[in-house]
Amino acid sequence: MPRDVTKGDLPALILAVLAESACHGYGIARRIEQQSAQTLQMKEGSLYPALRILEQDGLIAGEWEVQPSGPARKVYRITADGLVQLKEKQAEWEQYARTMSALLGRKTNAQPA
């Protein structure tokens, strides 16, 4: 079932994509789409404010690079601080997912009254 990516989750997704390899805005959007098997949907324009905030916080670094084919593009890379932040986000998310599945699992196993 397709789900919209919330503004709050987008920075963590961007960091996760960039932890694999450097990428430009269009590439980041495509990788989120592919890796979520098109389950996660977002307005692609919302990538840019999120990228700007991550850049200002020093979690990613962007640089204009000449491409082998086509015009120069701004390519983003994750920084050491970004990797630390990503690990924190992953831990937070795992904790949240564990709690939710524990709660939901309990509800589905319960017998109706």
- From CA 110, how far away is CA 113, in angstroms rounded? 9
* Number of C-beta neighbours around residue 18 at 10 A: 26
Of 12-20, 21-29, 88-96, 99-107, the window that binds other proteins (rule: CB under 8 A) is 21-29
- Print the binding letters for residues 48-77 with other proteins: x by CB under 8 A, - otherwise: xxx-xxx-xx------x------x-xx---
Query: Which residue in the set 3, 26, 39, 63 belongs to the binding site for other proteins (CB under 8 A)?
Result: 26
Interface with other proteins, residue 9, by CB under 8 A: no
Beta bridge partners of 74: 64
Report the half-sphere exposure of 21 (CA within 13 A, side-chain side): 3
Contact 18, 28 (CB under 8 A): yes
> Which residues contribute to the site for other proteins (CB under 8 A)?
24-26, 29, 43-46, 48-50, 52-54, 56-57, 64, 71, 73-74
